[in-house]
Structure 1
Amino acid sequence: MTAARFTLRTARTAGAALAMVLACAPAARAEGQPAYPTRPLTLIVPYAPGGTTDVVARQFAQSLQGALGQSVVVENKPGVAGTMGALALRQAAPDGYTLSLMPVTVFRQPFIQKTAFDPARDFTYLSRITGYIFGVVVRADSPWRGWADFLRDARARPGGISYGSPGQYSSPHVTMLELAAKEKLDVNHIPFKGDADCLNALMGNHVQLCAAGSAAGALVDAGKLRWLNLWTAQRSPRWPDAPTLRELGYDMVSSSPYGVAGPKGMAPQVVAVLQDALRRATEDPRYLATLKRMDQEPMYLDSAAYTRFALQQIAEEKALVERLGIRAD
């Protein structure tokens, strides 16, 4: 079953209206209202502590705190394929004090199963900030020296190999589903609450490989793990020996851009203040240094552009779910 119904036409109209309001809105305060913000904000990270998203989000929260002049508290809410933040926003007051990171799974999950939120109508998209570097990683002592070795073994042992991901129907999981479908592989998927848990399971040999983000990088650099491939458009300067999916014969790139959103119905003045602060946070050298360390690229979009991106992504995720046949009826 799908999520609560929505129309892209209605959402596009809402996005256009938001852009017009922001263009005319004062950036300080409404008549008779105290300046925003007057108390700490909460930024929900819908993944477990210690993973790629958490590392980036905590520095971003510090940068946003400097831009706003008010504390920004990170709250981890892992589970349900990274949609716990969206669920929290659905219940939050639209006062600008509760924000959440919005992974692409928020746009995908309503087409997989019934959800309590509608991504085209229930949120105020404030700013896209970055995207991930993903890939397949194995232990350094794995007998698979490359992707072809894994494919050969997986075909010889149907159902005998288990891989982990940071969540059921997360972008790494869905990309692995696409790869398995192309290669006609029968492999077992073990979902975790985030990269950190997945990588711990890999180090303990509870799974044989992980579809993970750049949180694996430190272990790769330490010689404990090895990339079989990366899902970037070009090879990573940090790991130049890891081939891309395109080099391996797949016309695929997976970066899963994400941003920051709030509840629907936020006051234009609050949105304007946040949009300005979020832009300045993405320009903070400390945040940019963290992105570089995690091998992520700046992908800033303002509120109006991020709203358009979200609507386009919703349509693309609907098509992807239908193509893979993963809707839970």
Structure 2
Amino acid sequence: MPMETVQTIASRMSQSADTIPEEYIRRDKEEPSVEAGDGPVPKIPTVDLGEADQEKLVKAVAGASGEWGIFQVVNHGIPDNLISRLQHVGREFFELPQEEKEVYAKAPDSSGIEGYGTQVQSDPRGKKSWADHLFHKIWPPSSRNYQFWPKKPTSYREVNEEYARYLRQVADKLFRSLSLGLGLEENVLKDGAGGEELQYELKINYYPPCPRPDLTFGVPAHTDLSALTILVPNEVPGLQVFQDDRWINAEYVPGALIIHIGDQIEILSNGKYRSVLHRTTVNKEKVRMSWPVFLEPPMDWVVGPLAQLVDDENPPKFKSKKFKDYMYCKLHKLPQ
């Protein structure tokens, strides 16, 4: 019997007028809402990563990371046609028959996150998100488990390996600017987050059309566990960011990458950079997809506020702990 995914539920519901199942419905303040607040709606910053003036680039990256925790980058150096191919092979995978996708399913008793499925973490109230996903590591090469890399389409592996090579260059440039923005040597933040052992984990999010997008989320409000998240969106809007006490829709910028500051950078910077609170809404008529890559420390890597940023006037705001312990506490909603 095929596994019950959001895609199969959406396909079944397209033949009827039923509302979505109760376990997907969010109540009260959790429900999706339009932008609120007085005055003009601010826009998520856009940074030109090709800026030749390093001082100007560092100021833009650091400013956006401290004020917003999120920004979009253009002129990032990843060819447009490679991003298009990345999106194409991802869409092709989700368009395969259900039994072919299930070949890559995460085992029900697995403690890992790699594979095809629906829920990443359990909700204590049994609530589910309106999304399916495919998760696998793309860097370093030694971390790749090709068991979870689709064989169809046939170009999937080639495209994702090429994307990983380009993405590392973008990540290194971001880490350099973030370090310099704190008045540190350019390698400090990357080294603090795992250095060359950083794990690059790709997640393809698939949000099928939803008959009641006002009642559910693709992903509820959260901050990312990662150091950085580098995301490719498709043209269907849905990402919302919490800023100035309101939810703000992320504008689609063709060809741009969306950069999230994650929890580990907030910890390393002792709160000078902000891990962004964000969520994902769904669309009534269109499929929304996204391709985030989470840059995470190895499981036994200890992350804490950098010594250079801590003194009597700036005591540590976070505990130092192994990444696996931080992850366990967050996924199980335990105090850090």
Taking structure 1 as the reference length, the TM-score comes to 0.23
Q: Which has the higher helix share?
A: 1
Taking structure 2 as the reference length, the TM-score comes to 0.23
